[in-house]
Amino acid sequence: MHLGLDVDVQKLETEKLRKGKNKAEEDLNKKIKADGWERKFREV
């Protein structure tokens, strides 16, 4: 029983880290897009 709980906790932690990484990548992509739009408007 104790070992099963440890595995569940590890799975949850791994999933949380993966979601955090995906969120960070999304934020970075949004920033890159926003910077691209800013450059376009400056050129006009």
pLDDT the model gives residue 30? 93
Give the angle 34-29-27 at the CA atoms, nearest 5°: 95
> Tokens representing 38?
């800013």
| Integer-rounded Cα radius of gyration of the chain | 19
pLDDT the model gives residue 29? 92
Note the pTM of the prediction, 2 decimals: 0.55
Buried b or exposed e, range 11-32, using 16+ CB within 10 angstroms: eeeeeeeeeeeeeeeeeeeeee
Tokens 């979601």 label which residue?
19
**What does the pLDDT profile of the chain (44 residues) look like in tens digits?**
456 778 888 888 999 888 888 888 999 999 999 998 888 888 77
Contacts with 40 (C-beta within 8 Å, 6 or more apart), sequence order: none
Residue ranges covered by each domain of the chain: 1-43
